[in-house]
Amino acid sequence: MTVRTILIAALTAAGALGVPMIAAAETARPAMSADPAGDAANQAAVESLYRAFAANDGATIGGLLAPDLVWMEAEGHPYADRNPYNGPGAVFEGVFGRIGAEYTGFTVTPVTFVASGDRVVALGRYSGTNQATGEALDAQFAHVFTVSGGKITRFQQYTDTAQWVDVTTPD
């Protein structure tokens, strides 16, 4: 069955059931969070993390990460070799420490945030120059955070891993 066939069947069924087409489309929307204040608080915690990254404020970064943090770099990423990173110490050493040693002018710039329940998604870009190769990184990212009690308990990265590998690999 093609996607077109499935869509036609769904629209036909909705019409046959007497469901107005706008109502059928609205039922496909994701549910709104039951706790908008909680969503805002969780998003604020993640935004604070990015501000701390920009200020190179390790104490604030550490304070936002839960002791039982589970951090996952994207599959195929050069720093995924130690996945999962368990606890802030592992992340500071295995991710942040390596970025600091290998890149100059490294930035993490979030552009969009989407919060729902205990999850916050940040969309943005990485940039910096790899010191060993002199090549510039300019890669999109999607970060998925789980937040509990104002602390980040889980992190999953999605990014252009091919670009990361290319930038870190000498020609």
Domain map of the chain by residue range?
Answer: 1-30, 36-168
| Percent of the chain residues past pLDDT 70, beyond the cut | 81
User: Tell me, what's the pLDDT at 35?
Assistant: 83
User: Tell me, what's the pLDDT at 4?
Assistant: 46
List the beta strands (DSSP E) in the chain: 65-72, 85-86, 103-116, 119-130, 136-148, 151-159
Reported confidence tier of residue 42, pLDDT bands at 50, 70, 90? very high
- Of 15 and 102, the structure prediction assigns the larger pLDDT to 102
State the average pLDDT over residues 90-96: 98
User: Tell me, what's the pLDDT at 123?
Assistant: 98
Residue 55 has pLDDT above 60, yes or no: yes
State the average pLDDT over residues 9-14: 46
- Of 141 and 30, the structure prediction assigns the larger pLDDT to 141
Query: Where do we find the tokens 């891993």?
Result: 161
Per-chain mean pLDDT for the chain: 87
Are 141 and 124 within 8 A, CB to CB? yes
State the average pLDDT over residues 144-164: 98
User: Tell me, what's the pLDDT at 23?
Assistant: 44
User: Tell me, what's the pLDDT at 36?
Assistant: 83
User: Tell me, what's the pLDDT at 32?
Assistant: 56
Residue 2 has pLDDT above 90, yes or no: no
Q: What is the model's pTM?
A: 0.80
User: Tell me, what's the pLDDT at 25?
Assistant: 42
Taking the C-alpha atoms of residue 50 and residue 70, their distance in angstroms, rounded to an integer, is: 18
Residue 130 has pLDDT above 80, yes or no: yes
For the chain, what's the residue count? 171
Under DSSP, the state recorded for 170 is -
> Which class in CATH covers the domain with range 36-168?
alpha beta
Burial label, 145 (beta-carbon count in 10 A; 0-12, 13-18, 19+): buried
Taking the C-alpha atoms of residue 44 and residue 123, their distance in angstroms, rounded to an integer, is: 15
Beta bridge partners of 131: none
CA 82 to chain centre: 18
